């Protein structure tokens, strides 16, 4: 998570400019995600462990996935599989490595005052956090099982189609 945290912290203002609603960029990045998933689907299954070097490379993939249209989980799972890590371990690692980033973003929002105990809607924020946490665990469990059984290229086809549609609509 270190590369993504570094990029997010140091380049936060520059990254905001990518989120201006440019569908063309999102479309091209979805196509990049599709190609990455297609390549990973053709990788040989191995049982390599997540080494420090592999974790750093996967972290770089997560940092790149800050760009709109790059699927964070798709990029990290595909990178893991391309490095020879089995799909189940890759999916678990992908979902675990985002937790520190989420907690870091929450801490940053609290420290900056964007979230404060004096807010009138604190109960709603707590309920939303609890709901997101519970359903996030359920979704992660389901996705890990799905990644183990299914082909990554199925999600790649979806990304490719949505990417092409985003490019087409981005020009209108």
* Percent of all residues in the chain with a pLDDT value above 90, rounded to a whole number: 26
Q: What is the DSSP secondary-structure string of the chain?
A: -HHHHHHHHHTHHHHHGGGS--HHHHHHHHHHHHHHHHHHHTSPP--B---HHHHHHHHHHHHHTTSTTS-HHHHHHHHHHHTTB-HHHHHHHHHHTTHHHHHHHHHHHHHHTSS-TT-TTHHHHHHHHHHHHHHHHHHHHHHHHHHHHS-HHHHHHHHHHHHHHHHHHHT-
**Over residues 128-157, mean pLDDT:** 82
**Over residues 57-68, mean pLDDT:** 89
- pLDDT of amino acid 33: 94
- pLDDT of amino acid 117: 65
13-61 pLDDT tens trace: 676 766 777 888 899 999 999 999 999 888 877 778 888 899 999 999 9
Question: Is residue 166's pLDDT more than 80?
Answer: yes
Where is pLDDT greater, at 171 or 35?
A: 35
């Amino acid at each position: 998570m270190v590369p993504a945290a570094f990029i997010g912290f140091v380049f936060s203002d520059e990254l905001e400019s990518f989120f201006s609603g440019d569908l063309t960029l999102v479309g091209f990045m979805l196509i990049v995600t599709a190609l990455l998933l297609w390549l990973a689907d053709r990788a040989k299954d191995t049982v390599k462990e997540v080494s420090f070097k592999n974790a750093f490379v996967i972290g770089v993939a997560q940092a790149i996935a800050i760009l709109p249209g790059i699927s964070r989980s798709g990029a990290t799972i595909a990178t893991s599989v391309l490095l020879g890590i089995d799909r189940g371990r890759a999916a678990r690692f992908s979902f675990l490595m985002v937790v520190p980033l989420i907690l870091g973003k929450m801490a940053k929002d609290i420290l900056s005052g964007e979230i404060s105990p004096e807010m009138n809607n604190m109960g709603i924020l707590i309920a939303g956090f609890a709901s997101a946490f519970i359903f996030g665990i359920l979704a992660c469990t389901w996705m890990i099982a799905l990644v183990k059984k299914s082909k990554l290229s199925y999600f790649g086809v979806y990304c490719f189609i949505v990417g092409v549609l985003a490019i087409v609509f981005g020009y209108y």
